[in-house]
Amino acid sequence: MARDLHGFLNVAKNVCHTYSMVARDQRTGELGVAVQSHWFSVGSVVAWAEAGVGAVATQSIVEGSYGPLGLELMRAGKSAPDTLRALLAADNRANVRQVAMVDAQGGVATHTGERCIAEAGHHVGVQYSTQANMMLKDTVWGVMADTYETTVGDLTDRLLAALEAAEKEGGDIRGRQSAALIVVRPTSSRRLWEDRVFDLRVEDHPDPVRELKRLVRLSRAYWHMNHGDELMAKGDLSSARVEYGSAEKLAPDNVEIVFWHAVTLASSGSIEEALPLFKKVFDADRNWMTLLARLPRSGLFPEDPPLVEKILAVSRK
């Protein structure tokens, strides 16, 4: 009896009943995986992706090695179907696994073990797969597929739409707790930190998919801000303004985006354009005034006391 209990506890530590999707964007070649579950930190267990290689979702009674080994085999040149067959053949508990893979050429492989908790199943489409287990209804993975195919937008938009559709269809019978999204570029630069378009996790939240969408929106805003900084450094002020405007439109209440926009404008001589932005930031939190005064010493703002004083004075107007 003690031995049986020990085995049960070992299994319980690796339970991750959920719905997920893996896909390759036919237009851009981007690869992605998205997931939601009533389980803490689902992304740390289920979602795996590597630029120029593939994406993997491993769930149900999880065997975590399907993620790194799946990517390793696809990196070595195996297709997603050949990779999954090899891993399943070596797994004496394949009947409780649910795994999906897509490779960089768009090959797809999916497995739903016959012992996965109902409702469980998957749908394989062109360069994508949806899969789910322990769902309220057996229609979840089909609705995800339909939504993915009909949604207009980039790969991230379509993956998020599929997650939303799954939740509307009833989703995980236990409810919801965490979600994750990884989207990588079509080819590897050998710089993993640059190859990930999105790598976001919601570990514990009452509405994880909605929170994941918020994080994606904020991430896009920071991307525009960073691109604006690059353009400013090249002297392309007009294009930089467009990028900063896009960032602030996506995250209008994020004062950090506004602050660094203002810093960059003021540093390049566009002080009059920067002043109202500084005022907005200082009115929200005067600690930003202290930060501005510290920037010249670090080489992040001109050593120009009259300029700094002029900026700080806007908070007194």
**271-303, pLDDT tens digit by residue?**
999 999 999 999 999 999 999 999 999 888 999
Question: Length of the chain in residues, anyone?
Answer: 317
First-to-last alpha carbon distance for the chain, in angstroms, is: 76
User: Among 99-108, 160-169, 220-229, 308-317, which is the least confidently predicted range?
Assistant: 308-317
Euclidean distance between CA atoms 306 and 287, whole angstroms = 20
Other Cβ atoms less than 10 A from the Cβ of 264: the count is 22
Q: What is the pLDDT of residue 146?
A: 98
Read off the pLDDT of residues 207-224 as tens digits, 9 standing for 90 and up: 999 999 999 999 999 999
What's the CATH superfamily of 2-205?
A: Aminohydrolase, N-terminal nucleophile (Ntn) domain (3.60.20.10)
Q: What is the pLDDT of residue 237?
A: 80
Question: pLDDT band at residue 3, thresholds of 50, 70 and 90?
Answer: very low
Numbered ranges of CATH 3.60.20.10 in the chain:
2-205
Say which CATH topology domain 220-316 has. Answer: 1.25.40
DSSP code of 151? -
Angle CA 22–27–31, to nearest 5: 25
Helix (H, G, I), strand (E, B) or coil at 288: helix
| pLDDT at residue 8 tops 50 | no
Could you give phi then psi for residue 289, rounded to 5 degrees?
-65, -40
Give me the chain's average pLDDT, please. Answer: 92
**Helix orientation angle between 287-294 and 305-312, rounded to the nearest 10 degrees:** 170
CB 262 within 8 A of CB 274: yes
pTM of the model: 0.90
Numbered ranges of CATH 1.25.40 in the chain:
220-316
CB 47 within 8 A of CB 23: no
Structure token digits, residue 209: 């998919």
Nearest residue to 28 (alpha-carbon basis) of 158, 170, 134: 158
Residue 188 contacts by C-beta under 8 Å, 6 or more apart in sequence?
Answer: 50, 51, 52, 53, 195
* Average pLDDT score over residue span 28-48: 96
Question: Could you tell me the CA-to-CA distances from 291 to 149, 216, 301 in Å, in that order?
Answer: 48, 28, 11
